Amino acid sequence: MFLSTFEKQLDSKRRLVVPQEFRAAVSGPFDGIFCFPSIEADCLEAGGKALFDRYQAVIDELPFGDPVRSALETSVLGGMARLSFDTAGRITLPDVLCDMFGLTDEVTIVGLGERFQIWSRDAFQAHRATQRELARDGLAALRAQQRAARLGGVA
């Protein structure tokens, strides 16, 4: 499981040290990660074989030729890079993926359970503020629904 947030440096060759905890979470026959442009945010999404398998299962549920299936195949499979760890635990991010999201020297790696995201530091600061507000509003709405349910639908 990928947990926590880390601020890291990209070197001039676009190498990034993946946190040790994250490397341990993806250990297996392939010593690395799968990385692709996130569908939900302006960042990179990454994870191990389990994440790849999950996306493949979602794609496989859709019939061949379905426009959503094609969009997922193009976005996820077509944009995916398989990145191996070097002896220092680094991956080298492809130029095209870095350019897509303005990943230069300072990045933020955010654990999201079965996956993690790689953001430019500034973009993540703005995203985190928006997400915190959304989480507060969503939690307040959920609590209101729970209270209403306990009171038999009386608000």
Q: What percent of the chain has pLDDT over 90?
A: 85
Q: What is the mean pLDDT of the chain?
A: 93
Say if residues 118 and 111 touch (Cβ distance below 8 Å).
no
| pLDDT at 32 (0 to 100) | 87
Tell me the pairing of strands 44-47 and 15-17: unpaired
Say if residues 124 and 25 touch (Cβ distance below 8 Å).
no
pLDDT level of residue 140 (50, 70, 90 thresholds) = very high
DSSP 3-state percent helix, strand, coil across the chain (nearest 5): 45, 25, 30
pLDDT per position as a tens digit, 24-55: 888 777 778 999 999 999 999 999 988 999 99
pLDDT per position as a tens digit, 50-88: 899 999 999 999 999 999 999 999 999 999 999 999 999
Look up tokens 């799968």; give the residue: 34
Q: Please name each of the domains of the chain with its CATH number.
A: 5-120 (3.40.1550.20)
Say if residues 91 and 18 touch (Cβ distance below 8 Å).
yes
| pLDDT at 36 (0 to 100) | 96
Residue 111 has a CB neighbour count (10 Å cut-off) of: 18
In the structure encoding, which two tokens stand for residue 118, read together? Answer: 């790689």
Q: What percent of the chain has pLDDT over 70?
A: 98
Say if residues 109 and 9 touch (Cβ distance below 8 Å).
no
| pLDDT at 64 (0 to 100) | 95
- Dist. CA 54–CA 145, nearest whole Å: 31
Query: Across residues 124-140, what is the average pLDDT?
Result: 94
